[in-house]
């Protein structure tokens, strides 16, 4: 894996490992939602790469929506306040919704999103997250489909960023603090 800033990150998961795991998640979702047509709600910006790959791995008729939210300013700590930056373009009332998230960390953002979608009349709301970081959980949340569990590392690449940088890394990497 090559990086824009050599030495600033350490690889955690290769593109091959990610591809295998996304395929497995797609197969599970296909089985679990057999006979239904779920709506995938991709949480922008971080989940767009994962959502694109996951969409192709699900062998069902699906609809894709995007919900832009922000809980981080330009640093590595969540502000705890969730701001919607882009709303859904179509109603999800009466739909089975799969929220596609890049990482579930404190649980504050995903809890807010799940409650919002339920309030908007979704029949069901389940969460699929590329990464789960339970060590940082501040509120209890259920992540129904998890790509990888990670410790207390700040992860970038494959759509995840730090201050809008590193999204284009093909794999997942830990951001190494500057000495």
What 3-state class would DSSP assign to 9?
Answer: strand
Between CA 119 and CA 11 the distance in angstroms is 39
Cα separations in angstroms, 73 against 21, 80, 82, 106: 30, 10, 11, 15
At which residue do the structure tokens 């739909």 appear? 95
Q: How many CA atoms lie within 13 A of 159 on its CB side?
A: 21
User: Considering 105, 132, 144, 161, which one is annotated as catalytic?
Assistant: 105
Catalytic annotation present for 105: yes
Query: Where in the sequence numbering do the catalytic residues fall?
Result: 105
């Amino acid at each position: 894996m090559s990086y824009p800033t050599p030495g600033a990150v350490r690889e955690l998961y290769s593109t091959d490992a990610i591809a295998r795991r996304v395929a497995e998640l797609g197969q599970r979702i296909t089985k679990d939602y057999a006979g239904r047509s779920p709506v995938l709600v991709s949480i922008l910006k971080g989940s767009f790469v994962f959502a694109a790959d996951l969409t192709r791995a699900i062998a069902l008729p699906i609809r894709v929506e995007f919900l832009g939210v922000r809980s981080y300013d330009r640093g590595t700590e969540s502000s705890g306040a969730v701001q919607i930056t882009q709303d859904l373009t179509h109603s999800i009332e009466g739909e089975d919704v799969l929220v596609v998230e890049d990482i579930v960390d404190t649980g504050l953002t995903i809890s807010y999103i799940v409650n919002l979608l339920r309030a908007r009349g979704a029949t069901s709301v389940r969460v699929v997250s590329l990464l789960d970081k339970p060590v940082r959980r501040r509120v209890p949340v259920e992540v129904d489909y998890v790509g990888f569990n990670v410790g207390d590392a700040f992860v970038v690449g494959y759509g995840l960023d730090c201050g809008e940088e590193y999204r284009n890394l093909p794999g997942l990497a830990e951001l190494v603090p500057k000495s």
